[in-house]
């Protein structure tokens, strides 16, 4: 079994934290793992992308070829569209619905959302509002991870939740609890398929 995941968003949104947690869960499950990251001008609001390849068999390349990604997991809707050429037939897009407008010529938001809604397998939620609802306003990335938890399949939602605890443990019990709560609310909301 294998799962190729493209994680994308804008610098500062926590994409690399998601990659760390998935990687931690995969390592604990003794899976083979390859990861490649592109940071761009991430500290200035530029795009951030990470290829994450998980498999029960050895993986030779750390890059995901066009048309082969099982999941595009995006913190930002326009960034999800940017990587659509990598999505495999039958692949899923799991994305935030609210844009991060960091450029003067950002496309029409309704057009971006309409294009995403036209895809055969998309889950799109307001992760910022869900993070606030969980009591962790800064936990939108954990909401997004929770939304994807059942779709990743090669590691279980429980394995991912435990990885959240291990990764955030150095920051204390309250931080672990807050991030797990955000993860849980994302998983619940995706299970209800409340796509916007």
What average pLDDT does this structure show over 1-14? 91
Give yes or no for residue 196 having a pLDDT over 50. Answer: no
Q: What is the pLDDT of residues 83-105, one digit of tens each?
A: 999 999 999 999 999 998 877 88
Identify the band that residue 13 occupies on the pLDDT scale cut at 50, 70 and 90.
Answer: confident
| Average pLDDT, rounded, for the chain | 92
Q: How many domains does the chain have?
A: 1
Q: What is the pTM of this model?
A: 0.93
The DSSP string of 115-173 is HHHTSSSEEEE-HHHHHHHHT-TT-HHHHHHHHHHHHH-SS-HHHHHHHHHHHHGGG-H
The fraction of the chain above a pLDDT of 70, given in percent, is 94
Residue 131 CA: distances (Å) to CA of 18, 86, 94, 117, 134: 15, 28, 16, 22, 5
At a CB cut-off of 8 Å and minimum separation 6, what does 37 contact?
16, 19, 48, 49, 50, 51
**CATH code for the domain of 20:** 3.40.920.10
52: which 2 tokens?
């994450």
Q: Which domain holds residue 59?
A: 2-192
List, for residues 131-140, the tens digit of each pLDDT value: 999 899 999 9
Residue with tokens 């795009």: 47
């Amino acid at each position: 079994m294998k799962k190729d995941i493209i994680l994308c968003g804008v610098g500062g949104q926590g994409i690399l934290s998601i990659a760390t947690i998935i990687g931690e869960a995969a390592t604990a499950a003794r899976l083979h793992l390859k990861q490649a990251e592109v940071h761009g001008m991430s500290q200035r609001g530029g795009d951030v992308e990470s290829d994450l390849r998980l498999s029960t068999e050895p993986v030779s390349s750390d890059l995901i070829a066009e048309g082969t990604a099982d999941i595009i997991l995006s913190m930002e809707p326009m960034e999800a569209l940017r990587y659509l050429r990598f999505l495999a037939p039958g692949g899923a897009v799991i994305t935030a619905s609210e844009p991060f407008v960091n450029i003067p010529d950002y496309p029409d938001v309704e057009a971006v959302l309409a294009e995403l809604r036209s895809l055969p397998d998309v889950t799109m939620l307001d992760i910022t509002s869900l993070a606030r609802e969980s009591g962790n306003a800064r936990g939108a990335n954990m909401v997004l991870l929770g939304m994807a938890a059942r779709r990743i399949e090669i590691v279980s939602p429980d394995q991912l939740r435990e990885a959240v605890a291990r990764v955030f443990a150095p920051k204390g019990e309250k931080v672990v609890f807050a991030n797990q709560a955000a993860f849980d609310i994302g998983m619940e909301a995706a299970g209800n398929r409340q796509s916007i």
